[in-house]
Structure 1
Amino acid sequence: MADQIELSTPPFDGISQVRFSPTSPTNLLVASWDTTVRLYDVETNEQKTKFDHRAAILACAFADGERAFSGGLDTSVRELEFNTEKINNLGQHSDTISSMNWSKDFSSLITGSWDRTVRFWDPRAANAQQSSASLPERIYHMDLVNHTLVIAMASRLFHIYDIRNMNTPTQSRESSLKFLTRALACMTDGQGYATASVEGRIAVEYFDPSPEAQEKKYAFKCHRQTIDDVDHVWPVNSLAFHPVYNTFASAGSDGTVSIWDHKLKKRLRQYPKYHSAVPSIAFNCDGTKLAVGVSYAWDEGEEGAKAAERPSVYIRNAGDEVKPKGWTGN
């Protein structure tokens, strides 16, 4: 069995997000700057449906096997129905939508925007927007684990909320990293999160504010290479925690994807380099596959774009390399 397959009908422009279904290990959404969101069956390697939008899509999220959501530069929050291929407009932000998460517990879509608001939507309601919370800065990334919502903003600010009470954050933090936040992912076990920056660093953080827990947090360098005695540093674009083992993958503009055991502070594996930067990665719900979106990431400006290859999406089989050392199961 091959280590990975390449999807046969990838987007035409940069990939902004790859996301697997929370219930089906074979259904994958791919959002792109080519203004589409595509739904694939990675088992049969076919594109099941495609939704066209008016502008680049930066974020997408599954609700269930029947529908998903999308948002991006045109500021609209949309519901995508797979069976009917219908697009329903739920409402608007006043600026670009940068991130979204579906809360299964509340049957709510949570969207974050450069307009400095987080909004909650109930797609079944006549007036879909249920509530809105204002934040001090533009929202770049969000991730949700259980009832805990982590929001990464401009100016390296982080807010942590319990989504049952959005009136005030449970914690406000400044990033442990000195530069712009490029990626964020919550641990599967709900203990904390990892965040990454444009200058090749990842920080591992814990929610528990006690001094003992906070002593466990650390940051490390990655996605770097010394070429002819010159240190090259690449942005870390995406992070994804394994749903079973709680190890995580990181993807960078150097075209590499690495697997890390954050408890042992060790790299378990680095996969062979891809043809371009890797803007987004995602594990499927049972942890057997890793989707890797590969496309030019504009780190080298217009010149690099002329030489860039067409985007690709690879589906890699996740084997023992994603298990922590000495794993015996729960």
Structure 2
Amino acid sequence: MAQATSQFELSSPPEDAISALTFSPTSPTRLLASSWDKYVHLYDTNAGLNGSKLTALSHAAPVLDCCFGENDGVLFSGGLDWLVKQWDPETGAETTLGSHEDGVKSVCYNQEIKSLISGSWDHTIRLFDPRASTETSKHHQPHKIFSTSTINHTLVVAMASRSVYLYDVRNMSEPWQRRESSLKFQTRTVRCMPNGQGYASSSIEGRIAVEFFDASEESQKRKYAFKCHRAVEGGVDVVYPVNALAFHPNYGTFASGGGDGIVSLWDGMAKRRLRQYQKYPASIAGLSFSPNGKYLAIGSSSGFEDGNDGGEFPPESVKIFIRELAEGEGKGKGQ
């Protein structure tokens, strides 16, 4: 008999659209959410029935991304105030690590070089040493940066004009590969595989690409893209943006979330969908697996695809769900 899946909604969600969700790399119950409400929200997902909000840290403008540092005690965020900030959640103490010249779209922490990496619409990638609270280098890119992801010594930078650069974080002077996205339309998000072999990216036009770092012809033959998050509504094919991707830390399978409010689980190696979860009340804005792979955080909020870009935003559409995975849920084929 199938085990009943347990899922609950976190209490006190953000008050405006969610921009990013990320679990701590070390604790399966610490979850960070950034929002257009100008706050970074830190939750304990294990406190009581519906979790609890531990703290909320403020920016002067909407926050577009957030991440943890080495552990639960260091948080980073960036947003439309152009600032890159470091926080101590215990004391609320904040440090401005640096400033871009336009919105900060992406922040990610690299464990190998103990550096925070930020990407901005100002066409630059910047590296910071959080221990010294200083910017250590700045790297000009050809286009606006939409998403970054890092694993081991590799940094993936997804930009406008379908441009993707791969860097070795130990030598940022030049990208070691310049690629054109396999997706025909604007990249929404990029995420590295936990095994360090490649990445998945998604577009505004209902597609996901699975790519590999190894530039050899043999390895490049393995890359592929597929359609998803589409529906026939009233006899018309409707295509939704794929807003969020998250890899399972143990199985290497991945979840995708779309503007259709649906979360699907994929086995990228076997090229198949493992499952599709129930429809959530609004567009999926963020996804994250806990470091032990037991929980999937799902953030939903009405977005531009609902035509609400005129400032009409239904705050009741903002919800964060914590789904407890059943035994073996998320396992790929033959695992």
Normalised by the shorter chain, which TM-score bucket? over 0.9
Pick aligned residue for 1:102 from 95, 98, 109: 109
Question: What does residue 111 of structure 1 align with?
Answer: 118
Pick aligned residue for 1:276 from 282, 303, 314: 282
Kindly report which structure 2 residues correspond to 1:193-204, keeping only aligned pairs within 5 A, or say none: 193-204=199-210
Q: 1:226 to 1:262 in 2, by over 3 A?
A: same
Distance in 2 of aligned mates of 1:214 and 1:72: 35
Q: Deviations over 1:124-177 (max 9, x none)?
A: 226x11111111111110000110000000101000000000010110000111
Q: Does 1:67 align with 2:74?
A: yes
Distance in 2 of aligned mates of 1:76 and 1:116: 15
Distance in 1 of aligned mates of 2:189 and 2:146: 9
Decide whether the 8 Å contact of 1:140 with 1:154 is kept in 2.
Answer: yes
Question: What does residue 32 of structure 1 align with?
Answer: 35
Distance in 1 of aligned mates of 2:333 and 2:218: 24
Q: Deviations over 1:87-108 (max 9, x none)?
A: 1111211111000111122221
Distance in 2 of aligned mates of 1:34 and 1:110: 23
Distance in 2 of aligned mates of 1:268 and 1:304: 37
Shift of residue 70, structure 1, vs aligned partner:
0.7
Question: What does residue 222 of structure 1 align with?
Answer: 228
RMSD over aligned CA atoms reads 1.4
Q: Deviations over 1:192-215 (max 9, x none)?
A: 111111110111111111111111
Q: 1:2 to 1:46 in 2, by over 3 A?
A: farther
Distance in 2 of aligned mates of 1:167 and 1:135: 11
Decide whether the 8 Å contact of 2:211 with 2:224 is kept in 1.
Answer: yes
Amino acid at match of 2:35: S
Q: Deviations over 1:285-307 (max 9, x none)?
A: 11110110000111132379456
Decide whether the 8 Å contact of 2:207 with 2:226 is kept in 1.
Answer: yes
Q: What is the percent sequence identity of the aligned residues?
A: 49
Q: Does 1:55 align with 2:58?
A: no
TM-score (structure 1 length as normaliser)? 0.96
Q: Which runs of 5+ in 2 are unaligned?
A: none
Q: Which runs of 5+ in 1 are unaligned?
A: none
Q: 1:304 to 1:326 in 2, by over 3 A?
A: farther
Please state whether the residue corresponding to 1:231 is helix, strand or coil: strand
Decide whether the 8 Å contact of 2:253 with 2:265 is kept in 1.
Answer: yes
Amino acid at match of 1:100: V
Decide whether the 8 Å contact of 1:12 with 1:310 is kept in 2.
Answer: no
Pick aligned residue for 1:325 from 325, 330, 333: 333
Decide whether the 8 Å contact of 1:276 with 1:294 is kept in 2.
Answer: yes
Decide whether the 8 Å contact of 1:62 with 1:68 is kept in 2.
Answer: yes
Q: Deviations over 1:1-45 (max 9, x none)?
A: 752110011001000000100101110001000000011000110
Distance in 2 of aligned mates of 1:290 and 1:300: 25
- 156-165 or 307-316: which moved more? 307-316
Question: What does residue 258 of structure 2 align with?
Answer: 252
- 78-87 or 1-10: which moved more? 1-10
Decide whether the 8 Å contact of 1:39 with 1:50 is kept in 2.
Answer: yes
Q: Does 1:206 align with 2:212?
A: yes
Please state whether the residue corresponding to 2:143 is helix, strand or coil: coil
Pick aligned residue for 1:6 from 4, 9, 13: 9
Distance in 2 of aligned mates of 1:30 and 1:198: 22
Shift of residue 229, structure 1, vs aligned partner:
2.3
TM-score (structure 2 length as normaliser)? 0.95
Distance in 1 of aligned mates of 2:236 and 2:16: 31
Question: What does residue 88 of structure 2 align with?
Answer: 81
Amino acid at match of 2:7: Q
Shift of residue 247, structure 1, vs aligned partner:
0.3
Please state whether the residue corresponding to 1:321 is helix, strand or coil: coil
Decide whether the 8 Å contact of 1:276 with 1:308 is kept in 2.
Answer: no
Q: Deviations over 1:218-258 (max 9, x none)?
A: 11100011123211110000111110000000000000000
Q: 1:216 to 1:27 in 2, by over 3 A?
A: same
Distance in 1 of aligned mates of 2:313 and 2:14: 17
Shift of residue 326, structure 1, vs aligned partner:
2.6
Distance in 2 of aligned mates of 1:304 and 1:267: 36
Question: What does residue 22 of structure 1 align with?
Answer: 25
- 3-12 or 316-325: which moved more? 316-325
Q: Structure 1 segments of 4 or more deviating over 6 A?
A: none
- 318-327 or 290-299: which moved more? 318-327
